[in-house]
Amino acid sequence: MIWKSEWKSLVWIVSGFLVAFFLPIGAVRFDNAILEAFHLVKWYAQEHVILCLVPAFFIAGAIAVFISQDSVMKYLGPTANKFVSYGVSSVSGSVLAVCSCTVLPLFSGIYRMGAGIGPATAFLYSGPAINVLAIILTARILGAPLGIARAVGAVLFAIIIGLIMHFLFRKEEAEKKVGMMAMPVSEVKRPLWQNGIFFALMVAILVFANWGKPDGTSGFWYEVYSQKWLITGIMAIGLAFTLYRWIKIKIWKLVLVAIPVIIIAYAFPAHPLIAFAMGAVGLGTITSTGKGEAEEWFGQTWDFTKQILPMLLFGVLIAGLLLGRPGGEGIIPSGWVDWAVGGNSLWSNLFASVVGAFMYFATLTEIPILQGLIGNGMGNGPALALLLAGPALSLPNMLVIRSVMGNKKTIAFVSLVIIMSAISGMIFGSFY
**In a 3-state reduction of DSSP, which class is residue 23?**
coil
Q: What pLDDT is stored for residue 115 in this prediction?
A: 77
pLDDT for 393 equals 85
Question: Which is it for the CA torsion 220, 223, 228, 231, positive or negative?
Answer: negative
- pLDDT at residue 185, as a whole number: 47
**Tell me: the pLDDT tens digits for 319-364?**
778 777 766 777 877 667 667 777 778 888 898 898 888 877 765 5
Name residue 378's beta-bridge partners: 342
- The span from the CA of 237 to the CA of 65, in Å, is 22
Q: What's residue 60's pLDDT?
A: 76
pLDDT in the model for residue 276:
93
Residue 201's pLDDT is 93
185: left (phi over 0), alpha (psi -120 to 50) or beta: beta
pLDDT digits (tens, 9 = 90+) for 128-164: 777 665 676 677 667 888 888 888 888 888 889 989 9
pLDDT at 237: 94
| Residue ranges of the chain with per-residue pLDDT less than 50 | 182-185
